[in-house]
Amino acid sequence: MALQKILREVFGYEAFRGPQQAIIEHVVSGGDALVLMPTGGGKSLCYQVPAIARQQAGLGITVVVSPLIALMHDQVGALHEAGVEAAFLNSSLSGEEAAQVEKRMLRGEITLLYAAPERVTTPRFLAQLDSLAERGQLALFAIDEAHCVSQWGHDFRPEYRALTVLHERYPGVPRIALTATADALTRADILERLQLEDAGQFVSSFDRPNIRYTIVEKKDALTQLLRFIEREHAGEAGIVYCQSRKRVEDVAQSLSAAGIRALPYHAGLDQALRQRNQDRFLREEGLVMVATIAFGMGIDKPDVRFVAHLDMPKNIEGYYQETGRAGRDGAPADAWMAYGLQDVVNQRRMIDESPAGEDFKQVMRGKLDALLALAEATDCRRVRLLGYFGEQSTPCGNCDNCLHPPAVQDGSELARKLLSCIYRVQQASGISFGAGHMMDILRGKQTEKVAQYGHEQLSTFGIAKEASESELRAVLRQLIAIGAVAVDGGMFNTLRLTDGSRAVLKGEVSVQLRESVGSPAPRRTRRSTATAPAAQDLGVDDQMRFINLKAWRAEVAREHNLPAYVIFHDATLAEIAQRRPHTLEDLQGISGIGAKKLEAYGADVLRVVADGV
């Protein structure tokens, strides 16, 4: 079956997107590939179409290495819906069920088999692969979430390193490694670790133009988050990321108390509850998941309308990967983050106190500095973000800085005052103090601690009376970001000068500050929460038809125990509602309706459409 025919008849799409066709042709012909494609860009098709084509050519099974059970379940479910023989091997299967899958695999009855890296590299599984290879029945290895192989990536998993055995043991079987996020350093590490130096490299644009990036100074983060959700995304699906498990539970509880349907997710929850919450998020509409970064990889839910960070991630790769879970359907979505001085301090401390070598720490500090620069930026967020991945762009007109440019002021004098204060306090007391005490001294506040240590006698006492605490904290964030101030770990997060302090004190390095934005960026026009973005342009009758189709889809999804979007995406239902088909032939050519889905659901769809409004 020609590639175009597979795309149309199996998956229901008329044309490949972006570099998909070039990647697929390269892999089908036996070439190795490294694919970097943003979330929602269609990575799965880049190995699913070759798997079908190579299987039809008599070349056997494709093994997909995937890190998450939930992702395997949904991908296999979606392939079954499209009429493709697929299966997974993971801990959710009983011993008898796993044995049945293995028998089917060895009989050549499966086109795609999903398994975790830990299983793929076991002697038992490798022996089964040996048997397939001897018969020429190993078509392809697809390594999904390939950034997990790199120590420089944001989600390093040591078990991925063992996947080099696939190349060493089966050198004639092509491999395709895929990820949505990798800077140049991580990319080079993936190529080396997986021995893909001779692979074709396919790097798509990292731009997600439908996502609006907004970063705000953290004041009362929970209140800021509530205001954001209530004003912009009431009743819509979203993800809120927090640093700690306790914070996750507190925020989920607070959102629920405010009338927002929210669920917690973190590694400390009972596994059954964690799975139940994830399933609910994928299958129900309008839920907000509050989670640590343990949640999200492989989440294919297309209608996540916002991703919010209440705590700053470790690096831009993590931020990009997490925000990329919003707006997979291409409709407008928001990436919103609140960050403050404590975030900077915490992330610095985690790096400094980690048992890693100094070279590794230096790279991690550089990655954190890049994220800080993004957060403090006064120019286009998207230009900064894409620039990090080596992609040139122009101002987007759709981030907070483009929509509401912040005023900028020179904070160099305040920075020198703050550095002088740290020096004088250290000199006078022989010990270091935290940020709050420094600001009290600079602003001339007579506190108990100031009096206890006699710091009202210092020459720096009150020299920044005119500055607000938020201004001083902004200066301190900048000084930490450029390495002019260090934060020592421990209970008190004390401040000390560094070798980089001198250049600021001597006026060789300036400190530029963004003034606090008084008014928020212009809001999008609120839409009815009952209306999906895909249906926004439909007339009244078509809107009702769309709602009826969604209700029917929900019933089918429940029967099949699958997320609704695996049956049909909203965009497919909207096109059906608009076209008002009368026959099965009328349904052909609608995006997302392949031959198997037409056969399985065509008659029911026509019935729902004919029922009218």
Q: What is the pLDDT of residues 301-322, one digit of tens each?
A: 889 999 999 999 988 988 998 9
Higher pLDDT, 407 or 195: 195
Question: Strands 333-339 and 306-309, how do they pair?
Answer: parallel
CA 559 to CA 566: how far, in whole Å? 13
CA 170 to CA 144: how far, in whole Å? 18
Residue 355's pLDDT band, with cuts at 50, 70 and 90, is confident
Mean pLDDT of 157-164: 89
Higher pLDDT, 613 or 589: 589
Domains and CATH numbers, the chain: 3-203 (3.40.50.300), 211-339+377-405 (3.40.50.300), 409-514 (1.10.10.10), 534-610 (1.10.150.80)
Q: pTM here?
A: 0.81
Query: CB–CB of 387/393 below 8 Å?
Result: yes
Q: What is the mean pLDDT of the chain?
A: 89
Q: Which two tokens stand for residue 316?
A: 């831009």
CA 610 to CA 545: how far, in whole Å? 9
Q: What is the DSSP string of 506-549?
A: TTSS--EEEPPPSSPPPPPPP--TTS-GGGTT--HHHHHHHHHH
Question: pLDDT tens for residues 174-208?
Answer: 999 999 888 888 889 999 999 999 999 999 888 99
